[in-house]
Structure 1
Amino acid sequence: MTREGMERHQVWFYLAALVLGLLLGRAAPGLDGAAEASVWPVLAVLLYATFTQLPLTSVPAAFRDARFLGTALVGNFVLVPLLVWGLVQLAPPDPALRLGLLLVLLVPCTDWFITFTQLGGGDGARATALTPVSLLLQLALLPVYLWLLGGTPVTGVFTPGQVWPALLVLLGPLALAALTMRWAADRPRGRRLVDRLGAAPVPLLAVVILLVGVGHAEEIAGSGAVLRVVAVVSGLYLVGAVTLAVVLARLVRLPVPQGRTLAFSLATRNSFIVLPFALSLPAGWETAALVVVLQSVVELLGMIVLVRLVPGVLLRGVRPRRKAPAGS
């Protein structure tokens, strides 16, 4: 299957991986330890492959369109945190559940956001330019958000001994990807390698979800109440985020393609960037990692609707006329 085909049908890969992981975990409970240990190297490879697709060198170019960039940053880093805080108040007062929701809903997506922007008729160039800026800001601001909105100092949950593996899994691939892109910039063989890596994130994320399913099968099997909460909060988040995007796009008079890009930027969240931190939590906080995985599945199901709803109803534009065939 081509890269485009995998990206179009990725939600089914992830659902199948989750179901298979749960079945394996229930059938062979002894696999949980090996599965949890395997998540980390696979996640590192996933992040490396994803980061090689981000144009980190395009950060300066992103600042040239101040109107779009400013609107996207205000939406993602000012208005969305307020929306998330309000929605989390609807969840049961379970610290692990609420922390999982905060982790996964506070940070904008940097991978399939571009894919869904393109599928939904958005501006792929601006989505690509926004992505590295968004990544750098969310890494800096996430601890602040958790402290302000969660009501608990980050150090009260994430101790240095637990956080360093997550930071290593995140920052190591980021540094390696930057070196890879610099090396590949003027080498045809390097560019071919980066192109091939572009097909890796979907299957690798499916493997990560499978391993999480195997490692947490018992918890997930008894998580009906958690799933309902995540489904409701994530669904409300999608509605609220897209509404914010439509209002902002009209207030600042963004062109239609940029408005669609804004909608997908606010709607998609960075689940696997925060997954290492959720997995690094101490015993008793396993629900947080479960919330991250379940939210990503709910979000992907929502994207199936939004790639049609955003361009077809919410942010409609004039379709360009097709050129007549030569000689007609």
Structure 2
Amino acid sequence: MDIRRLGDALDRHQVPLYLAAIAVGLALGALLPAAPGPLELAVEPTIAALLLVTFHGIPLRGIGAALQDGRFLLTLLAVNFLVVPLIVWALTRPLASSPELLVGALLVLLAPCIDYVIVFSALAGGAHERLLAATPLLMLAQLVALPVLVPLLSGGTARGMIEAGPFLRALVLLVLLPLLAAALLQRLAPRLDLSPAMVPLMMLVLFTVVASQTPRVLGAGTALLVLVPVYAGFLVLATAAGILAARLARLETPSARALTFSAATRNSLVVLPLALAMPSPLVPAAVVTQTLVELLGMVALVRVLPRLLSR
């Protein structure tokens, strides 16, 4: 079997493969508490590699045209920074008596994803090139919004805890460098095809993230169980909000799918360094719990959303 046929076979079975990667990661993280330490160091490089392959599959010369779609960009910003905060505020009210869990949930739910959302959107037939074009704008917008929204919705609990450093680092390492590398490869090796690596890299990312963070979640005990319905509810409501906003804005199907994924997918891997810098271990555990819930939800959404937003 040549590489192209192997890639096609992996594409046909990608959903069960992703679920298997998550299951193995959970088992390793639970059974071998010492293993996740080195794996945590591999999280960012594996995501960067995945995004490099994703960016390489997009005609980067078309990014300029994507940025000219003002209706999509305005709808994207409105959903992520006006509609989503209202959903988050309503869902997190039961956490008001647990400040650490509240801050962790707000930190992750208020930040739109800038990395693997592009991959999931591409898998579902979304206009991932438009999300790619909007990535720097989303990053800068949340850099400005989080220091305001998190303290506001937490009643001042998180005031002074939000720093710009981790966001800027993620923008450079996870977006700008892979984007530059992809552009160079497209120019220097125009016939190079990296698409067969997409599914294996996604499996590696899912395995690495889940395996490295499972001990942190287990160490928090049952305190995190209250977050599961909050995060699951967010996935449902944010998906519904994205679909409704796309229809109101009369977006074409690929753009509607991309918008919906952006609404439902959060920036957990980028805000995790912020959470780890906070004094309570429950804050990063709350962020990681969202990662686990979201990854399972995204695997399902890749299959469901094309049916909800069909051509």
- With the shorter chain as reference, the TM-score category is 0.7 to 0.9
How much does 1:124 deviate? Answer: 3.6
Query: Partner of 2:250: helix, strand, or coil?
Result: coil
The answer to whether the 8 A contact 2:25-2:211 is kept is yes
**Counterpart for residue 173 of structure 2:** 173
**Counterpart for residue 99 of structure 1:** 103
The within-5 A match list for 1:276-295 is 276-282=273-279, 285-295=280-290
Q: Distance in 2 between matches of 1:156 and 1:6?
A: 46
Alignment partner of 1:265 is 2:266: no
How much does 1:11 deviate? Answer: 3.7
How much does 1:305 deviate? Answer: 3.8
Moved more, 123-132 or 291-300: 123-132
**Counterpart for residue 3 of structure 2:** none
**Counterpart for residue 63 of structure 1:** 67
Q: Distance in 2 between matches of 1:75 and 1:309?
A: 20
Q: Distance in 2 between matches of 1:176 and 1:194?
A: 19
What is the identity, as a one-letter code, of the residue corresponding to 1:287? L
Q: Which has the larger radius of gyration?
A: 1
The answer to whether the 8 A contact 1:49-1:201 is kept is no
The within-5 A match list for 1:237-256 is 237-256=234-253
C-alpha change, 1:301 and 1:179, in structure 2 (3 Å) is closer
2:224 to 205, 223, 226: 226
Query: Partner of 2:32: helix, strand, or coil?
Result: helix
TM-score by length of 2: 0.79
How much does 1:196 deviate? Answer: 5.7
Deviations 1:88-144 (CA, angstroms, capped at 9, x unpaired): 112252122111111221122233323333343433443433334323432343223
The answer to whether the 8 A contact 2:72-2:251 is kept is yes
Query: Partner of 2:42: helix, strand, or coil?
Result: helix
How much does 1:181 deviate? Answer: 4.1
**Counterpart for residue 213 of structure 1:** 214
**Counterpart for residue 44 of structure 1:** 44
% identity of equivalent residues:
36
C-alpha change, 1:262 and 1:208, in structure 2 (3 Å) is closer
Alignment partner of 1:315 is 2:309: yes
> How large is the RMSD of aligned CA atoms in angstroms?
3.4
The answer to whether the 8 A contact 1:68-1:258 is kept is yes
Deviations 1:11-66 (CA, angstroms, capped at 9, x unpaired): 431232123211212xxxxx3xx844x36632332343255345788664332111
Q: Distance in 2 between matches of 1:251 and 1:167?
A: 32
Q: Distance in 1 between matches of 2:98 and 2:168?
A: 29
Alignment partner of 1:151 is 2:155: yes
C-alpha change, 1:202 and 1:92, in structure 2 (3 Å) is farther
Q: Distance in 2 between matches of 1:131 and 1:18?
A: 30
C-alpha change, 1:50 and 1:155, in structure 2 (3 Å) is farther
TM-score by length of 1: 0.75
Aligned length: 298
What is the identity, as a one-letter code, of the residue corresponding to 1:210? A
C-alpha change, 1:128 and 1:93, in structure 2 (3 Å) is same
Gapped regions of structure 1 (runs ≥ 5)? 26-30, 318-328
